[in-house]
Amino acid sequence: MSEAVVTLEGVDKRFDNGVQALAGVSLRVAPGEFLALLGPSGCGKSTVLRLAAGLDAPSTGRIDAPALRSGAADTAFVFQDATLMPWASVADNVWLPLRLAGLGRAEAWPRIEAALATVGLADFAAAFPNELSGGMRMRVSIARALVTRPRLLLMDEPFAALDEITRGRLNVDLLAAWQAQGFAAIFVTHSVYEAVFLSQRVLVMSARPGRVIDELAIDAPYPRSTEFRHSATFSAACARLAAALEAAHA
């Protein structure tokens, strides 16, 4: 197998309070691959992301990820809520990763504009987060993640709080950005439909302790549109994953 962007090998994670979040988790993400982590709440999906981002260290096992290697901002993270700085304009929020890397506003401006255009918010650079809807705030959060042109995008149930229509649109727009930029993505979700629609490969996790119990490749070409949601491939994959999730809950 070719070199991977992220590798976890036999990773255990036990928190200080004794809770075992992960047990023997191994996974590889190839460059440019879109991987979904599907599982019930508390199965350690978010912990996998935090480990891949270098925000937590494993108790045992080996991890290789861009955040643990280079000095550049090769990893981006999108949280469940937009996590914007309420005191800063949309443009300044998107500027943040570049600003922390030492780039001035004028220098960064073309990239800020491009990132905002990618998520369809070119006209909202001067707005403040509290003036935007939940879906728009999430778009800003994605623009902030994409502005550094990361090799790896980690997303922790980013659309869970949004309504179904907004969620569907953001799924389509996220895939468009992924195809245009070619980053690898790990997308954490508890929605079977979202996992199937977005990803090339789905890992199913089970809880207490969190471990990978199943894997399914979604063989459908991109760009994926609403038609894909109505296809036999989509239904079959959803049925298969729903059954696996059922087993995980049992």
Partner 1 sequence: MNASRALPVLTMLALLAGWEALVRLAQIPHYTLPAPSLVLQTLWANFGSLAASWWFTLKITLGALALACAGGVLIAAVFALSRGIERALFPVAVVLQVTPVVAIAPLILIYVESTTAALLLCAWIVAFFPILSNTVVGLRSADANLRDLFRLYRATPVQRLRLLLVPSALPYFIAGLKVSGGLSLIGAVTAEMVAGAAGRETGLASRILEASFRTETPKMFAALLLLVLTGVLVFWSFEALSKALLGRWHASERTD
Sign of CA dihedral 17, 21, 23, 26: negative
Q: Which is nearer to partner 1, 2 or 130 (CB)?
A: 130
Yes or no: say if 5 and 151 are a contact pair by the CB < 8 Å rule. Answer: yes
CB-nearer residue toward partner 1: 55 or 243: 55
DSSP 8-state assignment for residue 242: H
Extract the tokens encoding 106.
Answer: 């004028």
CB of 196 to partner 1, least distance (A): 27
Site for partner 1 in 41-80 (CB under 8 A): 50, 53-55, 67, 71, 73, 75-77, 79
The verdict on 158 binding partner 1 (CB under 8 A) reads no
Contact 184, 151 (CB under 8 A): yes
> In this structure, what DSSP letter does residue 167 have?
H
Residue numbers 85-104 binding partner 1 by CB under 8 A: 85-88, 96-97, 99-101
CB of 56 vs partner 1, minimal distance in Å: 10
Phi, psi torsion values for 124, nearest 5 degrees: -115, 20
Q: Cβ neighbours of residue 61 under 8 Å, at least 6 residues apart? A: 8, 9, 10, 11, 12, 24, 25
Quick check: 110 binds partner 1 (CB under 8 A)?
Answer: no
Q: Which of 130, 165, 219, 250 binds partner 1 (CB under 8 A)?
A: 130
Q: Tell me whether strands 184-189 and 34-38 are parallel, antiparallel or unpaired.
A: parallel
Q: How far is the CB of 97 from partner 1 (least distance, A)?
A: 5
81 binds partner 1 (CB under 8 A): yes
Window of 103-111, 122-130, 206-214, 233-241 that interacts with partner 1 by CB under 8 A: 122-130
Cα 36 to Cα 196: distance, rounded to the nearest angstrom: 8
Interface with partner 1 by CB under 8 A: which residues?
A: 50, 53-55, 67, 71, 73, 75-77, 79, 81, 83, 85-88, 96-97, 99-101, 128-130
